[in-house]
Amino acid sequence: MSGTRNITAALRRARVPRPRFAIRTVQSITPLTTRTFSASSTRNSDSRQIKFTSDAYPNLKRNPNFAEISAEDVTHFKELLGSQSAVIDGVTTDATDDIEPFNSDWMRKYRGHTRLVLKPQNAQEVSKVLKYCNERKLAVVPQGGNTGLVGGSVPVFDEIVINTSRMNQIRSFDAASGVLVADAGVILETADQYLAEREHLFPLDLGAKGSCHIGGNVSTNAGGLRLLRYGSLHGSVLGLEAVLPDGTIVDALSTLRKNNTGYDLKQLFIGSEGTIGLVTAVSIQCPPRPKAVNVAYFGLESFEQVQQAYLAAKGQLSEILSAFELMDGRSQKLVIESTGNKHPLEGEYPFYCLVETSGSNAEHDMAKLESFLESVMGDGIVADGVLAQDETQFQALWRWREGITESLSHLGGTYKYDVSIPLADLYLLVEDCKARLTEKGLVGDDDSFPVRAVVGYGHMGDSNLHLNVAVRQYSKEVEKAIEPWVYEWIQKRQGSISAEHGLGVAKREFIGYSQNETMVKLMKQLKNLYDPNGIMNPYKYI
Amino acid sequence: MSGTRNITAALRRARVPRPRFAIRTVQSITPLTTRTFSASSTRNSDSRQIKFTSDAYPNLKRNPNFAEISAEDVTHFKELLGSQSAVIDGVTTDATDDIEPFNSDWMRKYRGHTRLVLKPQNAQEVSKVLKYCNERKLAVVPQGGNTGLVGGSVPVFDEIVINTSRMNQIRSFDAASGVLVADAGVILETADQYLAEREHLFPLDLGAKGSCHIGGNVSTNAGGLRLLRYGSLHGSVLGLEAVLPDGTIVDALSTLRKNNTGYDLKQLFIGSEGTIGLVTAVSIQCPPRPKAVNVAYFGLESFEQVQQAYLAAKGQLSEILSAFELMDGRSQKLVIESTGNKHPLEGEYPFYCLVETSGSNAEHDMAKLESFLESVMGDGIVADGVLAQDETQFQALWRWREGITESLSHLGGTYKYDVSIPLADLYLLVEDCKARLTEKGLVGDDDSFPVRAVVGYGHMGDSNLHLNVAVRQYSKEVEKAIEPWVYEWIQKRQGSISAEHGLGVAKREFIGYSQNETMVKLMKQLKNLYDPNGIMNPYKYI
């Protein structure tokens, strides 16, 4: 078969036992519908069917210290932002249809009661808005692409939405240093395409790239698909511009790789989910775009073998390894059901992995990959696999990983748990959760069972699992069966109850499972320092 | 010549013009005396000749709010730490000789008046010490290996030194994840040797590795030689344990690569120079140790060509590039004069570069390096060069870079400026500074001139220059000729007045050249939050 020559030759040379299935190239993959998802799917459907967060979380009460938005406030904001498109006014007009998309999330899980959306165009406008809100004690929710998974970017009650979509300019890029400076509202994929034309790469990639904003990525400390190669945003973000609740503009938009002049305050805005300030621009270190990228997709018989494959990849692919993703058999069946696409492997396996290499020399990378494949197939670690031969196949293989989230979203609802667990126990959580729900009689194929499927996938290279419980509809019964059991399970293993999705509304009350009392106290002290009136993204985070 | 075969063959194949000098292997390099330096050089000489910082900086006044150490305090500490070796008591006994090494720095530039050194053994002991000091308003200075360059780790007045040398245990290492957990007082080289035995690498390396403590590295956000490959400590440190001035133990010693549960408070301790707390342990992500390491050393005719060589290395060596260091001609002459060693290149050049590659496949790395050398020599960018052929040569070449600091230390004194500047202007600062001092009649070969040499070297890959003005003795005349001129020069180019060395005493009053008023205000607010009595490392930082 074309494209398999090198690998089989290598296997022959090494006289390793013939694997059960030869590596084949991807011939018959139909591209999935889209690599990205967006809030537009929510916008087009009737979001009024979504349960209000205030009903789903009856323990959340509107803070009586917050003012109610008045017609005068709206007039003030209209004058201040000076543009028709900058204010969506549901206070003095009936703008429900226009407002609703900003009130609810794409998962159809969280829904607020806002009647006002503001879209400032720069830090100065944000400053004026926040200063006014702080003085008037009007609560606000910063919102980027609204692609989050924990309800962090939509209101709970009548908080004003401050949306970053009109701050969407790339400010500068320096090819010598690789430093990009861009507004918070630039869409991640737009930034990456801009960099691609300049032979560089945005050091973050994730499924929602077509919709999410880089300001939101930084505010939530997004991890994504290639963290094991390019590191966390705490390392790659060089500077940022943000506005504090009192209107203070924090101009820390340094483009220097090294700057040891005082406390690195920008770090506080990375991952603070808009609770101490609103990020308006970001300066970030971008690596040269790899000249060669390869993707392989494997089927494996056990999680033990997945671990062996990962350690082999870490050792042998080393500096060119750019992703090592895990998908369980159930997750891939969901993608098949949702898209109707033909699966790249013929047999069925309980586990699948996607391995990506990125490097500067195609020949060297292929040699390393061949040697790795030879080793994992020769040792019987991998049962079957395919290797992408061109960009289309590359994209198609990735969609088997990136498409899981969207496939799940078609099923009704999903309880999502994004957790860090020591590698050896990573998949055990899925098995234990499934056993628990099955034992309680909650899982089944017909519509009388609330749970459709318990699915696990994630970033093996970061010890980061996404446990997803797909339900026909959200119910307290299922939720109570999972929580706090799942958090206790993670706490026992010193894991994190939120690896990369953040806290938002969903994980707020569970922070104690991953942070001790002292840490929570220190966090509250910090929140109080920057936001004494508590107007920034209330009812969430800590 | 042996070892040159591949490169000349490659050059022939590519029919590139013959370079002025062929690449030769390193044959005749005598290893320099040592790769590390330590405070012991200070200890063995008479530190009483060093000027007191309080005299050199007459604007610094002892804070009258601080208590004076009493005999009762000493008794309390002795009981608390319960060990003879944990307290060096210059209060009730004459322990001047034992105390002096902790009062002064290895550069012989800063000297304090402390009469008490404490060496607690764990966070609990540090907690008790700090709680007591905070209540008694006794000022303290956290001290690691005391290898800093800005006077940050020695007292100014009678601050109690809290030295971390007795917290020196490696707590754990997990080979699957590469996460090391170790006490703050573990010496960097010790940690790296421990990791080497386990096929991993500490993601930080610097000249002082034989003496510096990893807690000090984290507290000063050390950058070092391989930041361009392994990133900053803000990315690689996963967790830490620290003690706040009020005795609160911050247990944030997570070993998880991803943990988005609340504000990332550990970031505040990275680079805060012991002003808000004392770091007692660190958890850090360590990469697999490269299987192949190559080092090349070049001579170049102009800084323009240094830039071209760097961009070629970035593009062609890409993922295996692990260091790109710049040394000017004067710096290399100083190493020759100080060590008597024969220089690896025959001719003299105004600029030298050290390029290191680290990868997982020796054959691939050599092919990439050959292709790079072919290109930079064929294009006439590099005039001459040598390539290390074994570990001894590798170490010897590195000493031409790492030995500069020590060579300078033998000359009398050095005004050190560690700055970030956009790449194109990086070396212009050295030229402008030299021209300025020459014009003022301050530079010359005989002893009547205060300035011996103006030297530039640094981390080209990070746009980080070390400007060093070597003087026969420290004098106000020279200092006034350089400062604030040098800071204004950097400010004009949006650079940083401290790229990696930090602020300490030396840069404290100049922070305004790299941080705006708002940032400084926010920093002071934070300092006040954590250390309202101001006992932690006073007279320094911000």
Give the CATH number for residue B425.
Answer: 3.30.70.2190
Query: Is pLDDT above 80 for B229?
Result: yes
Same-domain status, A310 and A385: yes
Contact A268 B267 (CB under 8 A): yes
Residue B352 parent element (H or E)? strand B351-359
Strand A160-163 versus strand B160-163 pairing type: unpaired
Strand A321-328 versus strand A351-359 pairing type: antiparallel
Tell whether A382 is covered by a domain: yes
Alpha carbons B337 and B322: distance in angstroms, whole number: 29
Q: Output the pLDDT for position B310.
A: 97
pLDDT digits (tens, 9 = 90+) for B365-374: 999 999 999 9
Tokens encoding A348: 């069925």
pLDDT digits (tens, 9 = 90+) for B353-366: 999 999 999 999 99
Q: What is the 3-state secondary structure (H, E, C) of A376-401?
A: HHHCCCCCEEEECCCHHHHHHHHHHH
CA angle B274, B278, B279 (to 5 degrees): 105
Q: Output the pLDDT for position B27.
A: 42
Q: Output the pLDDT for position B409.
A: 84
Query: Is pLDDT above 70 for B232?
Result: yes
Alpha carbons B166 and B178: distance in angstroms, whole number: 25
Query: Between A11 and A371, whose confidence is greater?
Result: A371
Q: Confidence band (pLDDT; 50, 70, 90) for B474?
A: confident
Q: What is the CATH number of the domain that holds A80?
A: 3.30.43.10
Between B3-12, B151-160, B486-495, the lowest mean confidence (pLDDT) is in B3-12
Task: Identify residue B431 by its one-letter amino acid code.
Answer: E
Q: Output the pLDDT for position B9.
A: 39
Tell whether B523 is covered by a domain: no
Same-domain status, A328 and A445: yes
Instruction: Give the rounded percent of residues in chain B with a pLDDT score beyond 70.
Output: 92
Backbone angles phi and psi of A121, in degrees to 5: -105, -10
Same-domain status, A440 and A322: yes
Q: Output the pLDDT for position A9.
A: 39
Contact A234 B264 (CB under 8 A): yes
Of A314, A316, A516, which is closest to B251 when you measure between CB atoms? Answer: A516
Q: Output the pLDDT for position A45.
A: 55
pLDDT digits (tens, 9 = 90+) for A101-114: 999 998 889 999 99
Query: Is pLDDT above 60 for A15?
Result: no
Query: Is pLDDT above 90 for A60?
Result: yes
Alpha carbons A360 and A369: distance in angstroms, whole number: 14
Q: Output the pLDDT for position A44.
A: 44
Q: Output the pLDDT for position A85.
A: 87
Query: Is pLDDT above 80 for B176?
Result: yes
| Mean pLDDT to the nearest integer, B464-491 | 95
Tell whether B520 is covered by a domain: no
Query: Is pLDDT above 90 for B12?
Result: no
Q: Output the pLDDT for position A32.
A: 33
Cβ of residue A280 closer than 8 Å to a chain B Cβ? no
Biggest CA pair distance of chain B: 81
Query: Is pLDDT above 70 for A215?
Result: yes
The sheet with strand B278-285 has its strands ordered as B170-174, B179-183, B278-285, B237-243, B249-252
Count the Cβ atoms, other than its own, within 10 Å of residue A2. Answer: 8
Alpha-helical runs (H) found in A45-86: 53-56, 71-81
Query: Is pLDDT above 90 for B76?
Result: yes
Same-domain status, B200 and B300: no
Query: Is pLDDT above 70 for B261?
Result: yes
pTM here is 0.93
The residue ranges of DSSP E strands in B175-314, in sequence order, are 179-183, 237-243, 249-252, 278-285, 292-300
Instruction: Give the rounded percent of residues in chain A with a pLDDT score beyond 70.
Output: 92
Q: Output the pLDDT for position B83.
A: 77
Mutation site for B-interface testing, chosen from A206, A218, A257 by largest number of B Cβ within 10 Å: A257
Alpha carbons A127 and B531: distance in angstroms, whole number: 29
Same-domain status, B128 and B196: no
Alpha carbons A489 and B321: distance in angstroms, whole number: 42
Q: Confidence band (pLDDT; 50, 70, 90) for A24?
A: low
Cβ of residue B498 closer than 8 Å to a chain A Cβ? yes
Q: Confidence band (pLDDT; 50, 70, 90) for A48?
A: confident
Tell whether A246 is covered by a domain: yes
Cβ of residue A499 closer than 8 Å to a chain B Cβ? yes
Q: Confidence band (pLDDT; 50, 70, 90) for A132?
A: very high
pLDDT digits (tens, 9 = 90+) for B499-520: 999 999 999 999 999 999 999 9
Cβ of residue A366 closer than 8 Å to a chain B Cβ? no
Query: Is pLDDT above 50 for B39?
Result: no
Tell whether B542 is covered by a domain: no
Same-domain status, A300 and A247: no
Contact B258 A496 (CB under 8 A): yes
Alpha carbons B249 and B241: distance in angstroms, whole number: 7
Query: Is pLDDT above 90 for B11?
Result: no
Alpha carbons A245 and A128: distance in angstroms, whole number: 10
Backbone angles phi and psi of A285, in degrees to 5: -80, 120
- Report how many domains make up chain B: 3
Task: Provide the CA B135 distance to its chain's centre, in angstroms.
Answer: 34
Tell whether B413 is covered by a domain: yes
Task: Identify residue A520 by its one-letter amino acid code.
Answer: V
B525: distance to nearest CA of chain A, Å? Answer: 9
Q: Output the pLDDT for position B45.
A: 55
Same-domain status, A418 and A301: yes
Same-domain status, B357 and B320: yes
Final residue in a domain of this structure, among A163, A197, A227 = A163
Q: Output the pLDDT for position B187.
A: 98
Contact B381, B312 (CB under 8 A): yes
Same-domain status, B232 and B357: no
Count the Cβ atoms, other than its own, within 10 Å of residue A521. Answer: 13
- ipTM score assigned to the predicted complex: 0.92
Tell whether B398 is covered by a domain: yes
Between A78-87, B45-54, B307-316, the lowest mean confidence (pLDDT) is in B45-54
The residue ranges of DSSP E strands in A53-113, in sequence order, are 87-89
Alpha-helical runs (H) found in A137-226: 188-196, 214-219
Q: For tokens 């000789």, what's the residue?
A: B97
Q: Quick one: CA dihedral A101, A102, A108, A112, positive or negative?
A: negative
Which residues lie below 8 Å from residue A373, measured CB to CB, with a gap of 6+?
A7, A10, A23, A296, A382, A385, A387
Of B235, B250, B276, which is closest to A234 when you measure between CB atoms? Answer: B235
Contact B359 A262 (CB under 8 A): no
Which residues lie below 8 Å from residue B336, measured CB to CB, with a gap of 6+?
B342, B343
Query: Is pLDDT above 60 for A17?
Result: no
Final residue in a domain of this structure, among B163, B183, B201 = B163
Alpha carbons A195 and A199: distance in angstroms, whole number: 6
Provide, as residue numbers in chain A, all residues whose Cβ is less than 8 Å from the Cβ of B360: 315-319, 368
Count the Cβ atoms, other than its own, within 10 Å of residue B194. Answer: 16
Alpha carbons A467 and A405: distance in angstroms, whole number: 11
Chain A residue with the nearest C-alpha to that of B175: A311
Instruction: Give the rounded percent of residues in chain B with a pLDDT score beyond 90.
Output: 86
Between A339-343, B1-5, B135-139, B255-259, the lowest mean confidence (pLDDT) is in B1-5
Residue-wise over A89-128: b if at least 16 C-beta within 10 A, else e? bbbbeebeeebbbbbbbbbbbbbbbbbbbbbbbbbebbbb
Strand B179-183 versus strand B249-252 pairing type: unpaired
Alpha carbons B267 and B270: distance in angstroms, whole number: 5
Same-domain status, B47 and B194: no
pLDDT digits (tens, 9 = 90+) for A241-267: 999 999 999 999 999 999 999 999 999
Query: Is pLDDT above 70 for B223?
Result: yes
Tokens encoding A51: 């349960």
Tell whether A537 is covered by a domain: no
Chain B residue with the nearest C-alpha to that of A254: B494
Q: Which long-range contacts does B480-485 make (Cβ < 8 Å, 24+ apart)?
A: B481/B436, B481/B437, B481/B440, B481/B442, B482/B415, B482/B417, B482/B433, B482/B436, B482/B437, B483/B510, B484/B510, B484/B513, B485/B436
Cβ of residue B303 closer than 8 Å to a chain A Cβ? no
Alpha carbons B108 and B391: distance in angstroms, whole number: 33
pLDDT digits (tens, 9 = 90+) for A382-434: 999 999 988 899 999 999 999 999 899 888 889 999 999 999 999 999 999 99
Between A8-12, A375-379, B24-28, the lowest mean confidence (pLDDT) is in A8-12
Between B96-105, B394-403, B406-415, the lowest mean confidence (pLDDT) is in B406-415
Q: Confidence band (pLDDT; 50, 70, 90) for A474?
A: confident
Identify the three-state secondary structure at position B415: strand
Range of the domain at A45: 2-163
Which residues lie below 8 Å from residue B177, measured CB to CB, with a gap of 6+?
A422, A423, A463, B255, B257, B285
Final residue in a domain of this structure, among B122, B138, B163 = B163
Of A227, A267, A364, which is closest to B234 when you measure between CB atoms? Answer: A267
Provide, as residue numbers in chain A, all residues whose Cβ is less than 8 Å from the Cβ of B494: 254-256
Contact B422 A177 (CB under 8 A): yes
Count the Cβ atoms, other than its own, within 10 Å of residue A312. Answer: 18
Contact B148, B504 (CB under 8 A): yes
B200: distance to nearest CA of chain A, Å? Answer: 11
Provide, as residue numbers in chain B, all residues whose Cβ is less than 8 Å from the Cβ of A259: 420, 496, 498-499, 514
Q: Output the pLDDT for position A99.
A: 96
Same-domain status, B125 and B91: yes
Q: What is the CATH number of the domain that holds B251?
A: 3.30.465.10
Residue window 409-438, chain A: list those with CB within 8 Å of chain B: 420, 422-424
Same-domain status, B434 and B465: yes
Contact B494 A272 (CB under 8 A): no
| Mean pLDDT to the nearest integer, B382-409 | 92
